[in-house]
Structure formats: C-alpha cells, structure tokens
Amino acid sequence: MEVVVGTEHCTPPDGGSALTIGAYDGVHLGHRALLAELQANATRRGLATVVVTFDRHPATVVRPASAPLLLTDLDQKLELLASTGVTRTVVVPFDEVRANESAEDFVLEVLVHGLGARLVVVGEDFHFGHGRKGNVALLAEMGERSGFNVVGLRLEHDAAGAVSSTRIRALLAAGDVAGAARLLGRHHQVRGMVVHGEGRGGAELGFPTANVEVPPGIALPAEGVYACWYERPDGSRHRAAASLGRRPTFYPDAVPRLEAFLLDFHGDLYTETARVSFVERLRDDLRFDTVDALVAQMERDVASTREALGPAGP
C-alpha cells in the first residue's frame, strides 16, 4: 500500500480513484465491510482504491475536551488498512485551518483535483467539513457536477446494534475485551515502550513484569487483570498475565499501569516496544492484605492465563 502524507503530494491514479473518507479508528468490521464494498466497485470499474484519513482524530481539534480515546495509533491504523488490500492511503494533517475548511472546498481540493475521484463510498451517516455540513447528499450533488458517483452504505450491524468505534470504546471501558474483539475482528492491541519500574515484581513477588508505557490518548480496557498475547519486536509472541491498575496493595498510583508477566520467558525487555493484545478479562484489580495473598492470586492468574490462551505462540 502506498502512503501519502499531506494533500499537496496527491496525484490522481491513472484512470481515477474509488475512494472513501473517514477517521477509520480501529479499522473494525464495519470499516472492513465498507472497504470490501469499495474494492468490489473499484474492481468492476478498473479504479485504484484510496482511503483518505487523518493524522489525528478530528475531534481532538474541533472539540478537544470531549475527544475520544483512540483504538489505534496512526501506525497501527496504516498497518490495518494495508491488510485490507487498498491501493493507497492519504493521511491528511488535521489542524485549525482544515477544521474551518468548507466541505465543498475539501471535496474539490482533495477528492476531485488531488485524487481524480470517480466513485466515493462512505457510511450513510457520514459528515465532514466545517460545522459537519458535508454529508452524503452534498457529495452526490457535487459528484453530478464533478464526475463521480456516490454510495452511502448502511452501517454494519449485529444483534446489539451498529458496529462502531464508539461502541467498541464502551465495551473496553466496561472491561469486555471479548466483546470488543468481536466487533474489531481481532483482539484490541496497545503498544508502548518497556520502561523501568520499581523492581518489586521480580525481587519481592517472584513475577518480573514488563512495564509497558502506553502513550496518552490510547483507549485501554477497564482496570483489572487480563490474559494477553505479548509480541516483541522480533515477532515472537508470548502468553502474558497483564495487570492494568493502580497497584492498590502497595502505594496506589494516580493513573493505571500496564504490567505484563510473560509466561515461561527469561530475558531483558527494557526499551523494546511491546504489543499487548487483550484476550480475556480474568478479574478486577484488587487490594490484598498481605503479599502472600497477592502472590497466591498471581499464581492463580497465571494458571487462568494458560487455560485461556492454550499453547504458546510461535
């Protein structure tokens, strides 16, 4: 997949493009259904497939106080989009100038002149441009003048409602990582560098942990203990019992920490970037009256992790 950063570098693909626009946070099953429809239409018409997305969630600029936590950082999003087989992704820097741009100007600059749009596929509830005045109807009206067709797709649904990034965030906030995985089509994954902690896990408890520093703004599940897959930069995957909490047994932290104990692993993980995928919630984050009680529970957590994940990965 070709990645283009900035609209000034856009050039129309030969023959024009079939494209879609959106934040695409999480690249969940709803997104994938839309992208599959985009690709099917593009194949029939001999068009390149293009995703137009943004370098940050537009809400962080338009309404920063209520901007959502992200399911994926930009690198993750690009990796997931590449896995769908799209030809090109255009990353639009989103700032105050872009936030105040009219929907009409955005269509002409990016879709028509920049990408030679012949087909635009978006969700039926899609809105864009200053004041969110752009929608499917406006796109269709402009398409008649500029030579592109518009498809507004009904959102993907399951028995509980529409598949959306908002719904996935709510499931994570409730600790339902299995429910989030069903809508994502994969386990929710966070990434971060392994940093030094206080050393208590190994020296005092016998369970050395990797302290994964997840960047701010990334959605984390509810505090608790989880069975996770832990992936190292070399691609190796390890079973891990991960605690996401404030360590109430010792000196409670102001913000949650993600600490992962890798089963059957011995080695140095410091300064590596870890990828932690949440598979199953095991229990709440609890305070224990004694260290021995905590250690006994951690042993049970490790056994539960083995049962939840089965054999170790490659």
Q: Domain with 14 in it: what CATH number?
A: 3.40.50.620
Return the top range by mean pLDDT from 87-96, 190-199, 204-213, 251-260.
87-96
pLDDT of residue 219: 97
Residue 176 located in a structural domain:
no
Residue 172, in any domain of the structure: no
For the chain, the average pLDDT equals 92
Backbone φ, ψ for residue 167 (5° rounding): -65, -40
Residue 203 has pLDDT above 50, yes or no: no
Q: Indicate whether 90 belongs to any domain.
A: yes
Percentage, residues of the chain above pLDDT 90 = 80
CA distance 117 to 196: 50
Range of lowest pLDDT (14-28, 258-272, 278-292) = 278-292
Residue 177 in any domain: the answer is no
Range of the domain at 68: 2-162
Is there a domain that residue 173 lies in?
A: no
Provide the domain count of the chain.
Answer: 2
pLDDT of residue 290: 79
The verdict on 135 and 218 lying in the same domain is: no
- Where does 113-154 show beta strands of DSSP type E? 117-123, 149-153
- Statement: residue 251 has pLDDT above 70: no
How sure is the predictor about 202, in pLDDT bands with cuts at 50, 70 and 90? very low
Q: Tell me: do 69 and 214 sit in the same domain.
A: no
Q: Which of 33-42, 107-116, 242-251 has the lowest mean pLDDT?
A: 242-251
Residues 233, 91: one domain? Answer: no
181 within a domain of the structure (yes/no)? no
131 domain-assigned = yes
Contacts 24+ apart (CB under 8 A), 200-207: 200/250, 201/259, 201/261, 204/291, 205/291, 205/294, 205/295, 205/298, 206/295, 207/261, 207/295, 207/298, 207/302
Same domain, 203 and 127: no
Q: What is the domain-level CATH number for residue 214?
A: 2.40.30.30
The pLDDT assigned to 255 comes to: 76
Between β-strands 273-283 and 257-262, what pairing exists: parallel, antiparallel or unpaired?
unpaired
pLDDT at 287: 81
Residues 155 and 208 in one domain: no
Same domain, 260 and 134: no
Going by C-alpha positions, the residue among 314, 240, 234, 246 that lies closest to residue 285 is 246
**Do residues 202 and 80 both lie within one domain?**
no
Together in a domain, 6 and 155: yes
pLDDT over threshold 60, residue 37: yes
pLDDT tens per residue, range 273-291 = 999 999 999 999 888 777 8
State if pTM tops 0.85. yes
Q: Give yes or no: residues 71 and 196 share one domain.
A: no
pLDDT tens-place string over residues 118-170? 999 999 999 999 888 899 999 999 999 999 999 999 989 998 899 999 999 99
- The reply to whether 88 falls in a domain is yes
Q: In angstroms, rounded to a whole number, what is the distance separating the alpha carbons of residues 201 and 86?
A: 44
Among residues 162, 197, 223, the one where a domain terminates is 162
Are 20 and 134 found together in one domain?
yes
Regarding whether 248 and 192 lie in a shared domain, the answer is yes
Give the residue from 162, 197, 217 where a domain finishes.
162
N-term to C-term CA, the chain: 27
Q: Are residues 132 and 10 in the same domain?
A: yes
The per-residue pLDDT for range 227-240, each reduced to its tens digit, is 999 999 999 999 99
